[in-house]
Chains A and B, each alone.
Chain A
Amino acid sequence: MTKLILILIGAVFVNNFVLSRFLGICPFVGVSKKVESAIGMGMAVTFVMLLAATASWMIYQYILVAYGLQYLSTIVFILVIAALVQFVEMVIQKSAPALYKSLGVYLPLITTNCAVLGIAILNIDLQYTLLQSMFHAVGGALGFTLALVIMAGIRERLEGASVPASLKGFPIAFIVAGLLAIAFMGFAGMM
């Protein structure tokens, strides 16, 4: 149990997916202009990451390993994720139209979010069990959401700041991300 909690906390703070592992940078700079959309994106990613980690772990252990096809893992994982995102989109659209309205636009983007394929491959590399993989996925996704929401909060304030003309837009966003990464380095002592 302690190990599971450590994996969860470690993935949120110490090895934060965005600020320390550099996974999911595109949505991190793309969807972090408003806190509200950052939370929506974070929820969608958390949901898909947990499903993707579970499905890819099972497929890897029970099908690929069983038939000695480990070299196909990249192709299989990306197909699983693409199918999963499509499936989740359809289920949400049918069963919770309100949720679909708020998450809908983010769902197609998630297929190319490296955090999702990243978690599938990382869990195999780290030789986690199914339960550990699921905790790792939730922790990673919460870390992603945390970074995204903090970033969005800062960027809403940046709108009113007088930034040098050359640094407006993406450059200043990356400087903010760098400062956040320094702040998150402080968590390294926690483990």
Chain B
Amino acid sequence: MSFREFTKGLYKENPTFRIMLGMCPTLAVTTSLINGIGMGLATAAVLVCSNAMISLIGGIVPNKIRIPVYVVVIAAFVTITDLSLAAYVPVLHKSLGLFIPLIVVNCIVLGRAEAFANRHGVGDSILDGLGMGLGFTLSLSVIGSIREILGAGTILGRPLLGHAYMAHPFLLFVLPAGAFFTLAILMGIMNRLEKKS
């Protein structure tokens, strides 16, 4: 087990900004910080469980049918997450809506199963899942914060930018178009930083 498997997902191989995976939830649910954190943690939970399970069964699944098997494993964990969220945090479950079951087709999850978990040990796979999941959560939180602050003038639902701003916030940022712009500018900044270093 090496700690590097955990840290690489946070920045160097960040799923959102570096390898561009899981774009649909990244854009769709990040209208506020709490939604971004919720979606990120739900995905992280699925990722850790599916990575652990696939690392365990990786050796016994025939190569030809491995993708359908992985998809069923992932779908099972997504269903567990979906039902748990509906039971314990119904409000969050409602605002994330469709995108909880859609974790099944989030390329990050199947991508890590195929590229990492099926050829590494359980410990490393769990760390990899945790790192990638938290890296995804981090990206979603950054996008969610920017959109919530600019689009509503609040952070985590608390007033931040004063009443004058909150009466007429930059509404575009909570609308779909704002998601595209926020992501584009953040990626541009990342590219710029990369070139300088």
Residues of B close to A75: CB separation below 8 A: 72, 75-76, 79
Please provide the chain B residues from 161 to 182 with a CB less than 8 Å away from any CB of chain A in the complex. 172, 175-181
Instruction: Check B184 against A171 for contact (C-beta < 8 Å).
Output: yes
Residues of B close to A73: CB separation below 8 A: 101
**Which 4 A-B pairs give the minimum distances between C-beta atoms?**
A178-B180, A22-B28, A174-B184, A181-B177
Instruction: Check A114 against B180 for contact (C-beta < 8 Å).
Output: no
Q: Which of B28, B79, B83, B188 contacts A21 (CB 8 A)?
A: B28
Instruction: Check A113 against B98 for contact (C-beta < 8 Å).
Output: no
Question: Does B60 reach chain A (CB closer than 8 Å)?
Answer: no
Say how far A57's CB is from chain B's closest CB, in angstroms: 16
Task: Tally inter-chain residue pairs, CB-CB below 8 A.
Answer: 113
Interface size on B, residues (CB 8 A): 41
Cα A120 to Cα B189 in complex, Å, equals 37
Secondary structure type dominating chain B contacts = helix
Say how far B88's CB is from chain A's closest CB, in angstroms: 16
Among A74, A111, A170, find the residue whose CB has the most chain B CB atoms closer than 10 A: A74
Q: Per-residue 0/1 for B117-136: is the Cβ within 8 Å of any A Cβ (1 yes, 0 no)? A: 00000000000000000000
B-binding residues in A (CB < 8 A): 19-26, 29, 71-75, 78-79, 82, 111-114, 117-118, 121-122, 125, 164-168, 170-175, 177-179, 181-182, 185
What 9 new A-B contacts, CB under 8 Å, besides A75-B75, A75-B76, A79-B68?
A71-B83, A74-B75, A121-B102, A125-B98, A166-B188, A177-B180, A178-B180, A181-B180, A185-B176
Q: Which of A78, A165, A175 contacts B75 (CB 8 A)?
A: A78
Residues of B close to A166: CB separation below 8 A: 188-189, 191-192, 195
